[in-house]
Amino acid sequence: MSDHVKRITIDQLRPGMYVHDVNCAWMDHPFVSNHFPVKDEQRVQDIRALGVRELYIDTARGLDVDDAPTADEVRQSTVADMARIAEERQDETRRVTLAEEIRRAAPLHREANRIVRDMLVDVRLGRQVELEQVEPVVEQMVDSLFRNQDALLPLARLKHHDQYTFQHSVSVCALMVAFARGLGLERPIVREIAIGALLHDVGKAKVPDEVLNKPARLTEAEFAKMKSHVVQSIVILQHTPGISAIALDVAGQHHERYDGTGYPNRLSGEQISLYGRMAAIVDVYDAISSDRVYHKGMSPTAALGRMLEWSKYHFDPKLVRLFVKSVGIYPTGTLVRLKSERLGVVREQHADRLLQPKVLVFYHAAKRHYLEPEEIDLAWPGCQDRIVGHEEYEDWGIDPQRWLPT
């Protein structure tokens, strides 16, 4: 990245600068693009009102500022921080083989998507959420993720643009279970967290489709309508027999921010429950790592780097680090480049060696051709290869669905 791109604080922003990246989750601001000139003081105040604390400017296209780190310096700092997280020990608790669990996980993922899709249709038609329809699939997802989370988690990456809303809910549910498992929470609590996660966006059934799926900048009124889905979710779930306080916290607080800049109640710090702080992290991580009609998702590793950066203000810093440990530095399903110039997909994690997962190698980057697929364990004592970075499937014309367990 060019040295012209620098990260500044909101107090350093002034007219004449050119914003390269607003540096907040795409759904947290109403601008059509992350790139735009700051023409006047009103635009500065508009950005400040969003709760932005730090952002990136392009000094080649606008005014410069002294004593600000370049984007490359920020990236190098994040890489070093993730390496430190990887060195922290964590117990291995896997119970069954990946191959065994994949046979259960793929049909389970499809069934979960179907149930959430049908539920959102019912809510749109004015029907009540029935936990009896949700609980069985939640139980199965919790069981699967506790047996071997590397089977179900990569399926969370597989989304279709026109089905994002309900597929995002299933992904957040799976990620929240993995997160809760990593925190060592008791199974009954994990179950309630999972229910809240699966239902966290149920209020979007009350948001008009033309707002929910608009492939352009939202007006202020439309942005307010989009944000109203949280209150709608709370109202719907409060009228759902059997819903727990934990599930309500997950759904009602997933857009609150640790520094008090979120919504709907502008809660901050410990005012947000543990479950709400967890949900805020997972919801944004899945959103920024997913493709939308108007938003290209970043790789999982890049998304984790942004979460670490944003945890200075918007998220509980300790929980963000624990989330990274729960899903891995290179989350399962990530396309990685090895020292040998081979590309492969991360298949399985070692909880105590997060930089050395099992990788299915299938492509040679330098020679640009496919290889006979080979699974290698980077943690094996005799292995001479290592990960040197993460890649985007799209950049190589590789279809992730071909290499993820479906």
**Would you list the domain boundaries of the chain?**
5-69, 98-327, 335-403
Check if the beta carbon of residue 341 is closer than 8 Å to that of residue 390. Answer: no
**Could you please report the per-residue DSSP string of 244-264?**
-HHHHHHHHHTT--TTS--SS
Query: Tokens 């060195």 correspond to what residue?
Result: 87
Check if the beta carbon of residue 131 is closer than 8 Å to that of residue 241. Answer: yes
Query: Nearest-5° angle of CA 327, CA 103, CA 94?
Result: 40
Summarize pLDDT for 242-260 with one digit per residue, the tens: 999 999 999 999 999 999 9
Check if the beta carbon of residue 145 is closer than 8 Å to that of residue 181. Answer: yes
pLDDT value of position 383: 94
Closest CA to 364 of 388, 392, 337: 337
Summarize pLDDT for 134-152 with one digit per residue, the tens: 999 999 999 999 999 999 9
183 CA to centre of own chain: 18
pLDDT value of position 186: 96
Check if the beta carbon of residue 168 is closer than 8 Å to that of residue 225. Answer: no
pLDDT range class, residue 319, cuts 50, 70, 90: very high
SS3 content of the chain, % helix, strand, coil (to 5): 50, 15, 35
On the question of pLDDT at 86 being above 90, the answer is no
pLDDT value of position 51: 83
pLDDT range class, residue 126, cuts 50, 70, 90: very high
Q: For residue 196, give Cα distances in angstroms to 73, 92, 158, 379.
A: 38, 27, 21, 36
Mean pLDDT of 311-331: 95
Give percent of the chain with pLDDT exceeding 70.
94
Summarize pLDDT for 331-345 with one digit per residue, the tens: 999 999 999 999 999
| Mean pLDDT value across the chain | 91
Cα first-last separation, the chain: 35
Note if the pTM is more than 0.75: yes
**Number of Cβ within a 10 Å radius of residue 74:** 20
Summarize pLDDT for 32-41 with one digit per residue, the tens: 567 889 999 9
Mean pLDDT of 218-237: 92
How many residues does this entry show for the chain? 406
On the question of pLDDT at 46 being above 60, the answer is yes
On the question of pLDDT at 10 being above 60, the answer is yes
On the question of pLDDT at 30 being above 80, the answer is no
Long-range contacts, stretch 34-37, CB < 8 angstroms, 24+ apart? 37/61, 37/62
Largest distance between two CA atoms of the chain:
60
138 CA to centre of own chain: 20
pLDDT value of position 356: 95
pLDDT value of position 295: 72
Query: The sheet that has 36-37: what strands, in order across it?
Result: 5-9, 54-58, 18-21, 36-37
Write the CATH number of the domain with boundaries 98-327.
1.10.3210.10
Mean pLDDT of 342-366: 95
Angle, helix 300-310 to helix 274-288, in steps of 10 degrees: 130
pLDDT range class, residue 302, cuts 50, 70, 90: very high
pLDDT value of position 296: 79
pLDDT value of position 156: 80
pLDDT range class, residue 91, cuts 50, 70, 90: low
pLDDT value of position 334: 95
**Number of Cβ within a 10 Å radius of residue 61:** 14
